[in-house]
């Protein structure tokens, strides 16, 4: 029973990923670039936990997962220096 549920979930999520990949290819074309921040926020306070940490983690995952989900390369580049 468990293996059937897992197979069903994999098939469903594979379809979702295929849709994400196609959407990114449609948006970027052959020579497009998507520039997004490399971090979801400033450095977190030492020892932060609870809902605030979970929120920051969710924002980070959202930013960092675009290239991987779309099967596209990801390049990180520092475009400015901290003051």
What confidence score (pLDDT) does residue 34 get?
86
Alpha-carbon distances, residue 60 vs 7, 10, 48, 66, 67 (angstroms): 28, 24, 15, 11, 13
Say what the pTM is: 0.60
* pLDDT tens-place string over residues 3-57: 666 888 888 989 999 998 999 999 999 899 888 877 777 788 888 888 888 888 8
**52 sits in which H/E element:** helix 51-64
Q: What is the mean pLDDT of the chain?
A: 82
Q: DSSP character for 22?
A: H
Instruction: Name, in order, each residue with C-beta under 8 angstroms of 37's C-beta and a sequence gap of 6 or more.
Output: 63
* pLDDT tens-place string over residues 51-61: 888 888 888 88
Q: DSSP character for 42?
A: S
């Amino acid at each position: 029973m468990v293996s059937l549920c897992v197979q069903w979930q994999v098939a469903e999520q594979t379809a979702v990923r295929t849709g994400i990949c196609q959407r990114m290819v449609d948006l970027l074309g052959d020579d497009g670039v998507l520039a997004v921040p490399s971090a979801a926020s400033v450095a977190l306070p030492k020892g932060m936990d609870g809902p605030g940490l979970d929120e920051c983690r969710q924002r980070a995952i959202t930013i960092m997962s675009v290239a991987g989900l779309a099967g596209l390369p990801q390049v990180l580049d520092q475009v400015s220096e901290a003051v």
